Structure 1
Amino acid sequence: MRKFIILLSLFFLLSPIVWAQEPGKVWTQESAKKFSIEEIQRLGLEANGLVLAARSQVNIASAGVVAASAYPNPEVVVMAGPVDRRIPESLTGPMTDQRTVTVNQPIENPFMRSARIGAAEAGVEAGRASLDQVRADLAAQLRVRAYELLLRQEQAALEQSIFDLLKEVHRRIKLNVERGESARFELIRAETELKSVENRKEAARLNAERARVALLQFTAGALPADFEVRASLKDAVALPPLDILRKEIPETNPEIVRLQAEQERTKLRIDQERASVLPSVNVLYSNFQDTQFNANTAGLSVRVPIFYRRRGEIDSAIFDSARIRETLDYRRYEVGQLFESAWQALQIAQRRVEMFESGLIKEAENAVEVAQAAYRFGERGLLELLDTQRVLRGILGDALQARFDLQAAAAEIDRLRAYYPKELIPE
């Protein structure tokens, strides 16, 4: 970009570019606070409501383990009341009261208890995997949005420089027309091109503002309004080799990990339902008191599953386990294909970047320089100069887009393998 402006300034004197955000307010880069990509990810992961909600789900699941580990409480029944006589008082004595206290303590099936606790613990693992997935998705989105903001700002700066150039061209042509050195048709053509470039410049500026607002939205307003991204579209992309990534992603992808935990939980639920068919035992103790007697009795209450053996609940758990297993197999395949697609996109973007940097931009800049010199000596018209500038603008725009596509593909790969600055995230 800077080299492009320097080459153009050989023929036209350009004034320094000042980007006005709104009328009467001038924005300067020094007045804004800069944040790195990692800092933006940290702020977003700390403030975004979806992450906080997913963390609450983990806490809820952890509380479920406490509930599943609790022992059943005893049940105490107290009964009391008067005793009415049916024979004369001379034989029974005076009328009195009687009282009965009964304690019922369930004895839990140890197989059902262990399966229930295991299922609750698997639910915690599933919740943590879901939290990791939300974090990875948000971190990737923040990274892509940050680089999109850089892309839009570069595009806006490009359109601004072209607008300043054509504005100077328009001024010089207008002077030549007034002196009778050029035809008025050249001025009309320059005015038309200037209005077109001005519209593109305004659209690029608005797109940059929209990208800024989108990034603020993903960080839940944690960034200041005048923030700047301390990064570049030319940042190097560092990823492990392809073979390592193919082995790593099925093991670290949060959705696969979550489905594995869900599958374990459904298996334990089957064990829990099957264990519930076994007879359940309650220990009973009862104390009876009246005027003449004080009786203590103890016994067992056994529930025998003869008529209904929880066939419906067991089948439901089996079918649910099959559903999770089939979903897991499909998601393994789908995540693998998503990675292969992201890797191919990364390779394509790298080749495009190399193509632009290997000399294509330089050739377009040289063509503009030649067209400027020819236009200055009257060998070429304004139309030829504008055509070469359009070609250079298109190549520069494509180069910016290729660099952004490279960063976006790398962010997608990091999302699939849940790679983000975890050490900066509070648990």
Structure 2
Amino acid sequence: MMQRTKTLLALMLAAGLSSLQAAGLSSLQAAEFDLAALEKMALNSSRTALAARDQLEAARYAAESARAFPNPELEYLAGNQRSRAGLGVPGDTRSLSLSQPLDLPWRRTPRIAAADAGFNVATATAGVLAADLLANLRARYFNLLRREAELKNAREDASTVEGVHTRIAKRVETGEAARFELIKADAELLNARKNVQAASFRVEQARSQLRQVAGDSLPSDFTLSGRLRDVPEVPSLTQLQQEMRVHSPDLQRAQAEVSRAEKQLELERALRLPAVSLRAGMDEDSEIRSSRVGFQVSIPLWDRRRAQVGEATAQLSRSRHELEGRRFSLAQELEVAYQQYEIALAQVGALESGILRQAEAALRVATAAYRFGERGFLEVLDAQRVFRAARAELIQARHELATAWVEIERLRALPKEKKQ
């Protein structure tokens, strides 16, 4: 009976452990994110994206309010009258008047056009903010992958140095090696452990920076499913230039600013024309009731809105100059980013195909020669430094490649349906 109870408890414990492991694995899988998931999360939960969305909603209501017709004005006055000479009949008096401003087409049409142009500017500005947000997110995403790769290499280096340190310690104990090699190995081991600690701190810092951009919807214990080498290819420079001219949010905002300045100038010129209001009124006292109907016209005699028209003209000229300057600047930025992409791609290819392999082969040869007593420990250290330097250059080149890709994507800012 006791044996059966122990067996049952063991089975229950095993089942519980397996369920906990399954739950742990499911939680790890749930906390794993790729770049596409992080982009979607940032656009939906980032405070910057939400603020841009609210600003766009405010611009939409502003455009809607420009289509509203002016409200009528109703005035009612009541009192009494008394005759001081005894000729009139005293009594109560009432006065009622109604005024309706006319929203004439020469004022209404340019006002609505200016408001719609403002909404287009807000839409383009939201696109710029979204492109900048995604670029910042992608940059921090690849920065975290870079730091994780550095941490992985630092741990591998520390493990290798610990193994060499153990062998040297045994050789020193048996008298096969001088104590100087052990002192040098101690220094290298401390340096390797310091590198692991520093790389770990940089990983945590990069995680916090990525979570800051992605928003509080990203859990603190997240993991990334991508790799630093997973950088998409980009088309030719000619195609990129064409896509940037069509889809760049910076250019769209500059063009929308020019359009708004043009509509604002038309509105200021239209406001020079007279404003017309219909008026109707009625007066009543104890003896007489009178009514009247007419209209009221504002005469642009003293204020011809020259200052407002001049300001709108200057703003239009400024917007056009900024548009041309932005076109030239973005074209240069795209060329620089594309050149940086090609340079980094060439560096990655050279490091992966030749330099890193040669450094790794030299390290294996030096390590094997040291084991057989044909080489000293200093030569092994030199080979390890060369290998670590080559591996660090590869990580740096891959990160520069990813950074150039991020900048290219920010400049052309293709819509989601175009990327698929």
The C-alpha deviation readout for 1:127-160, integer Å capped at 9, x for no partner, is 1111111111111221121111111111111011
Q: Give the RMSD, CA atoms, in angstroms.
A: 1.9
Change (3 A) 1:401 1:167: same
- Residues 238-283 of structure 1 show CA distances to partners (whole Å, capped at 9, x for unaligned) of 3232211111212211121112111111111111111111111111
Letter in 2 for 1:49: R
Distance in 2, Cα, partners of 1:53 & 1:258: 18
Partner Cα separation in structure 2 for residue 173 and residue 226 of structure 1:
39
Aligned-residue identity in percent:
36
- Matching residue's letter, 1:133: V
Map of 1:372 onto structure 2: 367
* Mapped contact 2:42–2:49 kept (Cα < 8 A): no
In structure 2, C-alpha distance between the alignment counterparts of 1:82 and 1:112, rounded to whole Å: 42
CA distance in 1 between partners of 2:313 and 2:259 (Å): 12
1:22-421 pair list within 5 angstroms: 31=28, 33-88=31-86, 92-93=88-89, 95-419=90-414, 421=416
Task: Return 171-180 or 157-166, whichever deviates more.
Answer: 171-180
- Alpha-carbon distance in 1 for matches of 2:25, 2:365: 34
1:338-394 CA-partner distances (Å, limit 9, x unpaired): 111110011011111111122222211111111011111111110100111111111
Q: Number of paired residues?
A: 395
Contact 2:128 2:249 in 1 (8 A): yes
Measure the CA separation in 1 of the matches of 2:231 and 2:81: 92
Q: 1:7 maps to which residue?
A: none
Distance 1:353 1:46 in 2: 35
Deviation, structure 1 residue 31: 3.7
User: Does the aligned pair in 1 maintain the 2:243–2:414 contact within 8 Å?
Assistant: no
Post-superposition offset of 1:122: 1.0
C-alpha deviations, 1:77-114, integer Å up to 9, x for none?
A: 111211102343xx645x21111111111113322211
Equivalents in 2 of 1:402, 1:92: separation in Å? 102
TM-score by length of 1: 0.89
Do the aligned partners of residues 30 and 399 (structure 1) sit closer, same or farther apart at CA in structure 2, a change above 3 Å counting? farther
Distance 2:365 2:94 in 1: 113
Q: Secondary structure at the match of 2:388?
A: helix
- Give the superposition deviation at 1:229: 1.0
Deviations 1:139-194 (A, max 9, x none): 12211211111111111110111111111211221121112111111111111111
Q: Which amino acid aligns with 1:60?
A: A
2: CA distance, partners of 1:308 / 1:271: 17
Check the 8 A contact 2:73/2:99 in 1, yes or no. Answer: yes
Any unmatched runs of 5+ in structure 2?
Answer: 1-23
Measured against aligned partners, the alpha-carbon deviations of 1:280-323 in whole angstroms (never above 9, x if no partner) come to 11111111112222211111111111222011111111111111
Within 2, Cα distance between the matches of 1:100 and 1:277? 33
Q: Secondary structure at the match of 2:66?
A: helix
TM-score w.r.t. length of structure 2: 0.90
Distance in 2 (alpha carbons) for counterparts of 1:167 and 1:372:
14
Displacement after TM superposition at 1:399 (Å): 0.9
Structure 1 residues 134 and 268, CA gap change in structure 2 (3 angstroms): same
Is the Cα–Cα contact under 8 Å of residues 136 and 419 in structure 1 kept in the other structure?
no
Task: State the Cα distance separating 1:206 from its structure 2 match.
Answer: 0.9
> Which secondary structure does the structure 2 equivalent of 1:69 belong to?
coil
Preserved CA contact (<8 Å) 2:131 2:413: yes
Cα pair distance change 1:162/1:176, threshold 3 Å: same
In structure 1, give the amino acid aligned to 2:199. Answer: A
- Structure-2 separation of matches of 1:196 and 1:230: 30
Task: Check conservation: 1:414, 1:420, Cα contact below 8 A.
Answer: no
Shift of 1:236: 4.5
Structure with more contact order per residue of length (Cα contacts < 8 Å, sep ≥ 6): 1
Q: 1:257 to 1:342 in 2, by over 3 A?
A: same
| Structure having the larger proportion of residues in helix | 2
User: C-alpha distance in 1, partners of 2:155/2:171?
Assistant: 24
CA distance in 2, matches of 1:407, 1:69: 47
Residues of 1 paired with 2:372 and 2:406: CA distance? 50
